[in-house]
A and B are shown apart, each in its own frame.
Chain A
Amino acid sequence: MDPLALTLIELGAVVFCLGLLARLAGRIGMSPIPLYLIGGLGFGAGGIVKLDGMHEFAHLSGEIGVILLLLMLGLEYTASELVTGLRRSWQAGVMDLVLNFAPGAGVALLLGWGVVGAIVMGGVTYISSSGIAAKVITDLGRIGNRETPVVLAILVFEDLTMAIYLPILTAILAGVGFLGGLQTVGIALAVVTMVLLVALKHGHRVSQAVHSENSEVFLLNVLGLALLVAGLASALQVSAAVGAFMLGIAISGATAHNATRILEPLRDLFAAIFFVAFGLNTDPTTIPPVLFFALLLAFLTAVTKMLTGIWAAKQAGIAMPGRFRAGAALIARGEFSIVIAGLAVTSGAVPRELAALATAYVLLMAIIGPLAARFVEPVVKAIRKPKRPALAGAR
């Protein structure tokens, strides 16, 4: 068959299947990410059907998907929110980092994947899925809850940590030495600080530069600039994704709103292809040997996230049930764990089993997380005897 026709047919079939999977996910009220991963596993190397025609397209689209994921994450926050969030939650943030990085790194060392593998797996188990957490908070009607700002502040801290972590990871994966690594970290820190300062003082100018009343012009402006910045960041070895994230932070106000609205469908498409592409490159037969470690990590890091949330909520003066709700909301891992694992696997600097472990782990956590968030409250209530406050008569 004509290669173009083959590519189109394969791509069409995959995107159509993704549509069905997303619909199924919506029906049962879960995040579509695990289903996309399973879809990719089914189609890819060692899967049921082998798709070779769309390989190249899937790879580039996946890269664009990561850039859009991070760009939209940056658009969600304003620079001032990041700075206040950082100031208010740095203790909980550091505790979160230590508690949740350690299990992943430890298991990677145990499996003999070396320091590089440890840094990658640490990142995979550290970062919560802000997408799933936000969905859980909205779906369960917890926007007005008192622990919600605590949860969001931790997520903000994690996202900022990503801006430092990803450049370090890129440098390490590229195999630069200790000095080269330090240099990249220096560049990354300088870039992050500079962008935050510029965004705080001159955010409106960046917004003005991309803004346009015409939605077509606006879309092309934002997308073009994002790819350009991502490419430049990549050339400086600061990681393309971080470039896009920082651009997202610099764009603020009404422009950020419009950009979010206009980019959302694109992000959904390219991010879905990214998850499928990651699944495609993972051989499902490599999962069973690492399944035990995935389960172990799932258990350990569910507990460590829970502890993080409980501690942070306690510091904010929140009562017992709220502390558990905060912890459970943080358990889900998702898009960014896959972004980290994807970066590592593409570079070839880590064993391929890492992709299998990351896939199995994210599959577990993307399902356990929302379930834990939903059921933690009744469980806590059942264990503790409800005490009526003095004003109970006024209900």
Chain B
Amino acid sequence: MNVDETELPGLGVRKDFITASGRRIGVVELREGETELFVSTWDDPDTCQASIPLTADEAAALGNLLGGQHIAMRLAEAHKEIPGIVTRQFSITADSPFQNQPMGKAQIRTRSGVSIVAIMREGEVVPSPAPDVVLHTGDLLVAVGTQEGLDSAAAILRNG
């Protein structure tokens, strides 16, 4: 993937690339720490169809969604051969009982048989997280297990 970087004097840096469908998509990292997400129009790749200001939290959340989807798809591909095994993503919301707690405290594997194989955090992947990894609001947990196990893992993360 060829990402172009262009300096915008006084504003920030633009990073973008052209998608296979012919749209230019990218972000402008503004000096003030905010991010502007933009997509070009279909008929004029120079201009923007939408230019959406994102706060740091929102940009991290979006990064997690995009990256998480990618990882989940690859995992699903890997587990295709094993019937009954499913991949699902859980996000840690602000009211989760385990935010700012080590993941081990939730005892997800013991209680539901589900494995947390990765955590997406601020666009970065934490692969095979250890039980002492502290969970934060906005984290996206990528979990693998049976349908029932995942349901109970979701309940554990929500209600403790």
Q: Using CB atoms and an 8 Å cutoff, list the residues of chain A in contact with chain B.
A: 76-77, 81-82, 84-85, 130, 134, 141-149, 152-153, 155-156, 257, 318-319, 321-322, 325, 377, 386-389, 391-392, 394-395
Chain B residues whose C-beta falls within 8 Å of the C-beta of A81 in the assembled complex? 7, 9-10
B9 touches A141 (CB 8 A): no
Taking a contact as CB atoms under 8 Å apart, the answer to whether B47 and A142 are in contact is yes
Residues of A within 8 A of B47 (CB): 142, 145-146, 321-322, 325, 377
**Main secondary structure on A side of the interface with B:** helix
B136 to A: closest C-beta gap in Å: 25
User: Which residues in B have their C-beta under 8 angstroms from that of A318?
Assistant: 46
Q: Does B45 contact A (CB under 8 A)?
A: yes
When distances are taken between beta carbons in the complex, the residues of chain B under 8 Å from A392 are 42-43
B60 to chain A, nearest CB (A): 20
**Nearest B-chain residue to A261, judged by Cβ:** B32
A82: B residues at CB distance < 8 A: 9
CB distance from A108 to the nearest CB of B (A): 31
Given contacts A143-B28, A318-B46, contact A153 B9 (CB under 8 A): yes
Supposing A149-B14, A319-B46, A391-B22 touch, asked if A143 and B6 sit within 8 A by C-beta, the answer is: no
Q: Given A144-B28, A319-B44, are A149 and B22 also a contact pair (CB < 8 Å)? A: no
A and B contact pairs by CB, cutoff 8 A, 6 listed: A76-B9, A134-B11, A144-B26, A148-B14, A386-B43, A387-B43
Contact B42 A395 (CB under 8 A): yes
Q: Which chain B residues have a beta carbon within 8 Å of chain A's beta carbons?
A: 6-11, 14, 16, 21-22, 24, 26, 28, 30-32, 36, 38, 40, 42-48, 50-51
Closest to B50 in A: A141
Q: Quick check: A134 and B10 within 8 Å, CB to CB?
A: yes
Contact between chains at A394 and B22 (CB < 8 Å): yes
Taking A143-B36, A144-B28, A321-B46 as contacts, is the C-beta distance between A77 and B9 under 8 angstroms?
yes
A394 to B38, CA, bound (A): 18
* Chain B contacts for A322, CB-based, 8 A: 44, 46-47
B48's partner among A145, A156, A389, A391 (CB-CB below 8 A) is A145
B148 to chain A, nearest CB (A): 40
A contact residues around B10 at 8 Å (CB): 76-77, 81, 130, 134, 152, 155-156
Give the distance in Å from the alpha carbon of A141 to the alpha carbon of B14 in the complex. 14
* Contact between A149 and B6, CB atoms less than 8 A apart: yes
Residues on A with C-beta less than 8 A from B51 are 141-144
Q: A84 touching B7 by the CB < 8 A rule? A: yes
- Cβ of A144 and Cβ of B48 under 8 Å apart? yes
Q: Tell me whether A321 and B9 are in contact in the complex, defined as CB-CB below 8 angstroms, given that A391-B21, A391-B22 are known contacts.
A: no
* CB atoms of B46 and A147 under 8 A apart: yes
- Residues in B whose Cβ lies below 8 Å from that of A145: 46-48
**Taking the nearest CB of chain B, how far is it from the CB of A155, in angstroms?**
8
| Chain B residues whose C-beta falls within 8 Å of the C-beta of A388 in the assembled complex | 43
